[in-house]
Amino acid sequence: YWNDGTIPWFRMDDIRKNGHILSDSIQHVTPQAIKNSGLFPAYSIIVATTATIGEHALIIVDSLANQRFTFLTKRKSFEDKIDMMYFHHYMFVIDEWCKKNTNSGGLISVNMPAFKQLLIPFPSPDEQSKIAGCLSSIDELISLYEGKVILLEQHKKGLMQQLFLKL
């Protein structure tokens, strides 16, 4: 199912390499891999509930993921009640909860019965949108400054090479 695949198959490496909002994956599967289960819809959340617990991403394409993730999708009846960017940002709180609420045993995993009982605050859709916009703006600023830090570190390295070239 891996050769010439066209359907995104998300793994932890995708989050590590491309961040927490994903539109494509490193690996893809063929339509034959879907079988009868179907794809998870775009604008779903994947959250790691085994192994590397407490990582998540907003997936903005129809897709599949490996078994270490739990997919969280929006019911049709909540279509106009939940802003998925707001939910994505709130997932950072849930990530921390997941790290603290695991079952021990062979493979460490999130306490799924307790996970299913989590209550998530959902203010009005307008308020969710404002909160998500504010947090997304801060994320953009962080990315901008991270890029500037990288450039400044490269500049410093170049200057130091020129200064200490004769040693």
Each residue of 95-123: pLDDT tens digit? 999 999 998 777 889 999 999 999 999 99
Q: Which range marks the domain in which residue 107 is found?
A: 7-122
Whether residue 26 contacts residue 8, with contact meaning beta carbons closer than 8 Å, is answered with no
* Same domain, residue pair 59 and 132: no
pLDDT of residue 140: 92
* Same domain, residue pair 96 and 159: no
Residue 144 lies in a domain: yes
Please give the distance of CA 12 from its chain centroid, rounded to a whole number. Answer: 9
**Lowest mean pLDDT across 15-19, 100-104, 130-134:** 100-104
Residue spans of beta strands (DSSP E) within 60-166: 64-65, 69-72, 102-103, 109-110
* Same domain, residue pair 136 and 64: no
* Same domain, residue pair 165 and 103: no
Other Cβ atoms within 10 Å of 85 Cβ, number: 18
pLDDT at 166 over 70: no
Phi-psi region of 76 (alpha: psi -120 to 50; beta: other; left: phi over 0): alpha
* Same domain, residue pair 160 and 95: no
Integer Cα distance of 103 and 69 in angstroms? 16
CA atoms within 13 Å, Cβ hemisphere of 95: 16
Q: Residue 159 corresponds to which tokens in the numbers above? A: 């200057």
Residue 139 lies in a domain: yes
Residue 112 lies in a domain: yes
How far is residue 89 from each of residues 26, 72, 130, 136, measured CA to CA in Å? 23, 14, 12, 8
Residue 2 lies in a domain: no
Residue 29 lies in a domain: yes
State the residue for tokens 């799924």. 112
CATH number of the domain that 98 lies in? 3.90.220.20
Collapsed DSSP state (helix, strand, coil) of residue 13: helix
Domain total of the chain:
2
* Same domain, residue pair 117 and 167: no
Residue 23 lies in a domain: yes
Each residue of 41-76: pLDDT tens digit? 999 999 999 888 989 999 999 999 988 899 999 999
pTM: 0.83
Integer Cα distance of 136 and 140 in angstroms? 6
